[in-house]
Structure 1
Amino acid sequence: MAERQSASDEQIAQEAGSSAPGDDPVPPNGHAPEGGPAPGSDAEQAAAGAAPGEAAPVNGAVDRTADRTVVDGAAGEVTVAAAGPSTWFQTSEQPTQAMQARNAAGPAGPPPSLPGASRPGALFEPAAEHPTEVMPAVASAVPTAVGVVNPPPPVGGDGDGDAGSGGRRPLIVVAAVVGLLALLYVVDVVLSLGAVPRGVTVAGVAVGGMEYAAAERELRSEIEPRTTRPVPVTVGQVMSEIDPRTAGLRIDWDATLERAGSQPLNPVTRVTSFFSAREVGVVTFSDDVALVGALEQLAPVVDRAPVEGSVAFEGTTATAVDPVPGQQLDVRAAADVLSREWANGLTVALPLTELPPITTPEDVQTAIQKVAAPAVSGPVTILGEKDTSAAVEPATIAAALTFTAEPGKGLVPGLNPEVVEEAVRPKLASTETPGRDATISFATGAPVIVPSQDGRGIDYPATLKDMLQVITGTGPREITAVYAEQPAELTTDELKGLGITGLISEFTTGGFKPDSGINIKRAAEQVNGTIVEPGETFSLNAATLPRNAANGYVEAGVIDDGAPSRGVGGGTSQVATTLYNAAYFAGMVDVEHKEHSFYISRYPAGREATVVAGAIDLRFRNDNPTGVLIQTTWTPSSITVRMYGTKRYEVTSTPGPRTNPTQPQTVTIPKGKPCSPSQGGPGFTITDTRTLREVSSGQTRTETRTVRYNPSPIVVCEQ
């Protein structure tokens, strides 16, 4: 075995030495010459002294790795690609050309290599540096060397240099770029220390890149004058101004400069600062009470309640009144916006909240088709006793028909029985015997009890209870009058037992408009004759609700959220104020009342009241041992409330001075919008002291109440 291997080495060396340049290269298919065993075959391995399937050794051991096989020995070494099931080693009947092996006697140098190697330490050296002489084909039964055929293409590189340099070069470039950017970032941070960051603006004033002292001077120069000028604001289409000093707004300069001068460490922020501006805004000190108070002055003009859909009549023709959304100043959100933007030198848009109506246009059409149109399609006849009757004409039905918006129900129809009663009573009066409550007459100066009297007549609520179904149905349009006994509500004996002996208080107000006067008269009628027994509490809402069209009320002027508006029942607050003052001077106990949000000149300052259904009531309690009778007297220009009982207190009122004045703001309403111009009025604070001296003992006590009125805005209507 050893001799055969030596002979093979000598043969390889001789043939390598006899090869000349220009000899044919190793066939690319790596086939062995005809007549010889295929390289790597079992026959060749057996001839070489190796077991079948094992590479023949060359003067030494065979080094097998995952990538290569190295055959080394005394004569030299050959590095070849690893054998495997690939096309690197082929078996064929063609001759095999062996590579030159460097023997021990030759000059020292790098191991043999093949063309195509691309990097030192790779499987083969570059052909340009170490050309390989090609051995001639040898026809022999003994393999002369292990052949390498079709090495895989080099990965990376260009064939001239190190194959690994192509993979490392991008990493080196990336590392260099990152390092350069890091260096630039550090230099930028260091150079910007002590200066305001690039691109920073404060309330629109550019201070980026300035030294802190210069930035402060610039900000104070530009912004400080704005702190004393009115701030223009818009709320929807309404324009106004707010005095920042009155609103309690001022700048926290230290905090503003600290916020502006904070250097960002985020690299992205620093890069984008070259191309963009960053607004940081001022830091504001604010007095929440003053700020909210200033904004609430806008509410009377800005706020608008939603208008519900309804049905109106032009004669006896039903027409649609579509709903309209309302709006309301969002005071809390507006305070936040104003605190943030008031010093920017621009007009500040304050947020509004839309108030959706309950009803829809579809609800209105349904009400017309199913209720209004059938209701006025003809008259309704009421049949009374003694062969009497009275016709309710379509025009009267149209006047009596009402619609109320209710959540989930749309427009709910109703009927004002008083309109119908007023129309038919004269025609049916001959069938009735009127009754009368016991009263007190002061015609002669001394109180005289007028006895009560029972009666019999038409019970109109019972008679008209089903009229709505009659006028909207398909049956006969007739109603039979219901008669009933009508006993006096206050009998003579009851009146005598209450200890009502004379007048204990009286108060009168006036100055109302005709439409309000209708509602004032209706509320006065409902209160008139009420007796408040000892220990009982009177409620104006309980006596007059519901204040709607079905109960005899009409649309008139109201104060809605401090703003002039219109609503059914407007004017009832005048009854509340008149009644409150009568109870005040009668010595009644004030249980609940609330003043208007701004002062109304026809009422005594600090001694007036308003009412809102379901929200604000007027209530007082009779703590006297005797009853109190309330009498109301209405005229087209005044309302008077008198209270009768047994006088217990002498009452006086002492108003205090008007303090803490606040000036009104000017609000401009755009052309085409509903507008009522107003000169406005200042707000103020006032106290009222009630002194009660008990008649029987002479003891006195005082009660003081403090009232704060908001200024009413100056309203300008654009022409």
Structure 2
Amino acid sequence: MAVITRDAQRKRTRSRLRAIFVPLLVVPLAVIGIAVAIAFAADQLYADRALPGVTVAGVSVGSLSRDAVIDRLQSELARPWSESSIVATYDGRSWSTTNGALGVRPDVAAAADTAIAFGKSGGAVERLAAWADALRGDARVAFTLQAQGGALDAWLGQVSSDTDRAAVSGSLAVGPTGLVVTEPVVGRQLDRVSTAASVLAAQSLQDRKIDLSVREVYPAVDASGFAEALAKARAATTPLTVRVEDRVVSEDAAGLASLLVIDRVLAKPGELSTPPAGAIVPATRYRYTVSLDEARVTDWVKALGVKLDRPAVAAKYSASKEGTLSVIAGVNGIRLDQDKMRSLMLAELLTSATTASRELAAPAIPDSTAFTTDQAKEWLPKLSKTSTFTTYFPPSRSRFANISTGASQFDGVVIMPGQSFSFWNLLGPVTVERGYAYAGAIIQNRSDENVIGGGLCQVSTTMFNALSKLGYQIDERHAHGYLIDRYPLGLDAAVFDPGVDFRWTNDTDVPVFLWSWVGDTFVTFDVWSMPTGRTVTFSDALQKNFVDVPPDQPADPAFPKGVSVKGRDVFRTRTVSDASGKAIHQDFFASHYAPVWGGPLPTPETPPAP
């Protein structure tokens, strides 16, 4: 029986394993070696040629040398390419051209270099994979385009002249006739870089369409910073009609626009809409604000009240030549409630109007007279003539017209206890339409014969003398520029608008009214009231500082030749005492009069010698 040792068994096992695995390792290594050898041989064979199966934009260039590749690409790629069309489109419009017209052509030299280099870099595995792609027809080489000359830039300029639109910044202002509006416009700008990239991005010989890349260009003030302000401004300038009872006042857009405050302010983050992606946006954006100037609205409402108010007319008295009094009944009126109207304007004016014009019913309040008809009737039997005064003037139709028209404005007007009187406030406008004429007046110490209302100082002087005798409080009195001898010395009362008024206050507890009588050469004022127990005394006139007419002083046209009046200062004191003898007023009337003359007498003519 044979005995097999453990070592012998191990040797037999190793032999069997070698017999199995050695062939398995040797065969792949041999294959790899053969492949490497083939690849090496192929590299050598195609070192300066394209691998079989390589294409450039569908043009087969396999196995060709670089020069041959260039020739074929020039023939089968570059020439057909130049005739291919490009149609650029934007917003329904199109612009047509060709690759050749744009100077756009394939870079055949670069494409040839890429084709020759295909599959000849990297390790053996990458090269084998490249060979496999080439043999399967998957070795497709892309090409790049290049623009030669300035044709592409010129074409982009032509297209941009059609597509581009300048941005317009919105503006809003108040002009002489109303709003001055420039609507904002978002501009457009051709993105030349992006459009050129689209032109140079094609990879086929076919005709093609491209979408133009056009960017929006936002102005400093766009619609989001303008529309709301414009709406408010247009609402505020909608023609307006304001009505109180049967009286109507209309205001046009220009007048209403004057009430607006329009500002352009820096927009804060989040106040404006976000522009679309890609838009060209200024670094600083603005917006408009519209508001009402409250002070202007207040003034406008005051002026409106003047037009719409129907002021109450106080009761008055009428006096006959026989001294009989009668009552002229008062009339209640109505006034614009200015506070409510102002609030209404501030609340409504900026709200959108639904019609082409807007109408507001103005809030109004009753206007009651300060001296009612019943009061006038109650006082009537208690009143009597308490004073009268008359002054005279040379005959003159124009002076008579002014004196009679002016004096009549004060007839029967009642001055209540505590009420102040202003000559100009009660007189009203001095116009030709109201019956006044051009006549002489003293302006800056000199007569002017062409003054509307000349002679009204006669009215104020007569009134002053009639009232001052009764002891009423004198608030304002002025002397004339030069002495007028038909008035009491130092007791004249000149008036001139503006700035020279005659004012007094009824500082008694009973009403007072005036009544005038005017003739061709005189004016009289009667004062009607009740006796107050006051006594009035005037000092004699103190005259000082006499001044002769300087020889070079121009002649006054109102004075006759050879007549002159010295200048001087005149002082009068009025003392008013109550019934108990207590002084309640002591007035010092100072008057400064300039010298005046009519010029020298003409030199008498010397009779001819006999």
Q: Same fold by TM (over 0.5)? A: no
**TM-score category (smaller protein):** 0.3 to 0.5
TM-score, with length taken from structure 2: 0.37
